[in-house]
Amino acid sequence: MSDAMARPAVTTLSEDELAFRDAVREFAEGEIKPLVVKMDEEAQMDSALIPKLFEMGLMGIESPEQYGGAGGTFFMACLAIEQLGRVDGSVSVLVDVQNTLVTNAFIRWGTDAIKQKYMPKLAREWIGAYALSESTSGSDAFALKLRAEDKGDKWVLNGSKLWITNGNEASVFLVFANMNPAAGYKGITAFIVEKGYKGFTVGKKEDKVGIRASSTCELLFENCEVPKENILGEVGKGYKIAIETLNEGRIGIGAQMIGIAQGAYDAARDYVKGREQFGKPIAQFQGIQFQLAEMRTQLEAARLMVYNAARLKDAGEDFIEQAAMAKLFSSRTAEKICSMAIDLFGGNGFTREYPVEKFWRDAKIGQIYEGTSNMQLQTIAKMELS
Ligand SMILES: Cc1cc2nc3c(=O)[nH]c(=O)nc-3n(C[C@H](O)[C@H](O)[C@H](O)COP(=O)(O)OP(=O)(O)OC[C@H]3O[C@@H](n4cnc5c(N)ncnc54)[C@H](O)[C@@H]3O)c2cc1C
């Protein structure tokens, strides 16, 4: 089967999941596709699109209905991220961060009061961002330097963050800072910072190769005042929140990657049917058919790995190794499939008039964020040898 609308061969989807997937696909085709080129060229998310993502229920997929969410599963969040990625990697990661990192963390570690205050906003109107990385701490995330101090009636944060997705659009930021550097990673605490807090500013936006419409920003904290109640989980336990959310978030990035790969594959399959050389469509040459078959097989393998990891997570089973493998494999596969799609387009594939070069640019980030490929290999190796 070459069409993502078809029922996957092995990982069965329920009728509800199929209907949800197809609704997101239709939304992506109708509402996002016409904006993709402009958003990429201008490196800017279309502001009119964001309320539509909320209306579609895509910003609180797992959020319980009592908080205004859709009460869905992690697997459903992955289906949405995949279908959005098939049309645009930037919208896909916006929805991914909102669901698999930010909302996920609030669901798991928020007190009742925190949930009451923030989750309805996150489901209906507020975009969230997840701020762990800094200029000197990427792979070595727990070496972060953002300092938090207890000032009695409030926390005060000083330092900066780098590479924060949704930085320009977000109203609330989940920020990891160290309360007690002498304690190392055991000083790390997760703070909830609203955009308007005193001493907080969003800094420069990166000019990127891919996912250009997704804002990636620096965050600056200069005596930033955070209310005492605005911590997620316990003081000194932020490292646990960071590890556990990223373990899950990786599956979402896998979903983004298989979506991007599907978009590139679909475009290439359609193109080879129409492009003629030597007096016939190039799709009639076995060499081309074998390339398509190779791409489709790689994509199927990556999709099954991502779906399997998401299903394991929803079932409450161990999934960390499968998540790392799914992200590693799907991001490499996406880059490869997008590159092969450019090959099938010939010279046209190398121009901005055709969609495949953008898929290729957008795929590259999958091997970098939420843990580079080496970090995934490290996780897998650690689990194999433990
Ligand atoms: C577009 C974009 C969006 C992002 N969004 C967010 C976000 O929303 N929130 C957030 O907190 N962060 C975000 N990040 C940051 C991202 O997670 C980091 O860039 C990533 O973790 C890598 O860190 P680094 O860039 O510092 O690279 P480095 O850690 O400096 O790595 C450089 C190279 O060294 C390798 N390496 C490092 N250590 C080892 C080791 N021990 N063994 C083997 N190889 C090693 C890496 O694999 C990599 O190849 C984003 C980044 C980008 C580019």
The tens place of each residue's pLDDT in the chain, 386 residues long, gives: 344 454 444 468 999 999 999 999 999 999 999 999 999 999 999 999 999 999 999 999 999 999 999 999 999 999 999 999 999 999 999 999 999 999 999 999 999 999 999 999 999 999 999 999 999 999 999 999 999 999 999 999 999 999 999 999 999 999 999 999 999 999 999 999 999 999 999 999 999 999 999 999 999 999 999 999 999 999 999 999 999 999 999 999 999 999 999 999 999 999 999 999 999 999 999 999 999 999 999 999 999 999 999 999 999 999 999 999 999 999 999 999 999 999 999 999 999 999 999 999 999 999 999 999 999 999 999 999 98
Whether residue 163 has its Cβ less than 6 Å from ligand 1: yes
- Closest listed residue to residue 304, CA positions, set 363, 375, 255: 255
Work out the number of other CB atoms within 10 angstroms of the CB of residue 58: 27
Residue 364 backbone phi and psi in degrees, to 5 = -60, -35
Per the listing, tokens 């330097």 go with 145
Residue 375 Cα to ligand 1 middle (Å): 9
CB proximity list for 294: less than 8 A, separation 6 or greater:
340
Residue 202 Cα to ligand 1 middle (Å): 20
Nearest-CA residue for atom 16 of ligand 1: 369
Point out the catalytic residue in the list 82, 169, 248, 370: 370
Whether residue 372 has its Cβ less than 6 Å from ligand 1: yes
- CA–CA dist 366, 335 (Å, integer): 9
Closest atom of ligand 1 to 165 CA is: 8
Indicate if the alpha-carbon torsion angle 63, 177, 162, 309 is positive or negative. negative
Whether residue 133 has its Cβ less than 6 Å from ligand 1: yes
Whether residue 379 has its Cβ less than 6 Å from ligand 1: no
Whether residue 249 has its Cβ less than 6 Å from ligand 1: no
Q: What is the pLDDT of residue 9?
A: 42
- CA–CA dist 237, 318 (Å, integer): 21
Q: Which two tokens stand for residue 290?
A: 């074998």
Which pTM was predicted? 0.96
Work out the number of other CB atoms within 10 angstroms of the CB of residue 319: 22
Whether residue 158 has its Cβ less than 6 Å from ligand 1: no
If DSSP codes are grouped into helix, strand and coil, which group holds residue 110? coil
Whether 248 is a known active-site residue: answer: no
- CA–CA dist 360, 136 (Å, integer): 28
Q: What is the pLDDT of residue 239?
A: 97
Residue 264 Cα to ligand 1 middle (Å): 25
- Closest listed residue to residue 36, CA positions, set 362, 386, 320, 377: 362
Whether residue 368 has its Cβ less than 6 Å from ligand 1: yes
By most ligand atoms within 8 Å of CB, the mutation choice from 99, 132, 139 for ligand 1 is 139
Whether residue 177 has its Cβ less than 6 Å from ligand 1: no
Work out the number of other CB atoms within 10 angstroms of the CB of residue 272: 21
Indicate if the alpha-carbon torsion angle 114, 246, 164, 261 is positive or negative. negative
The residue type at 233: G
- CA–CA dist 321, 48 (Å, integer): 39
Q: What is the pLDDT of residue 12?
A: 83
**Contact (Cβ atoms closer than 8 angstroms) between residue 98 and residue 166:** yes
By most ligand atoms within 8 Å of CB, the mutation choice from 250, 369, 373 for ligand 1 is 369
**Contact (Cβ atoms closer than 8 angstroms) between residue 34 and residue 28:** no
By most ligand atoms within 8 Å of CB, the mutation choice from 215, 368, 370, 379 for ligand 1 is 368
- CA–CA dist 173, 179 (Å, integer): 18
Structural domains of the chain ordered from first start: 15-127 (1.10.540.10), 129-236 (2.40.110.10), 240-385 (1.20.140.10)
Secondary element (H or E) of residue 200: strand 200-205
Whether residue 132 has its Cβ less than 6 Å from ligand 1: yes
3, burial (CB in 10 Å: exposed 0-12, middle 13-18, buried 19+): exposed
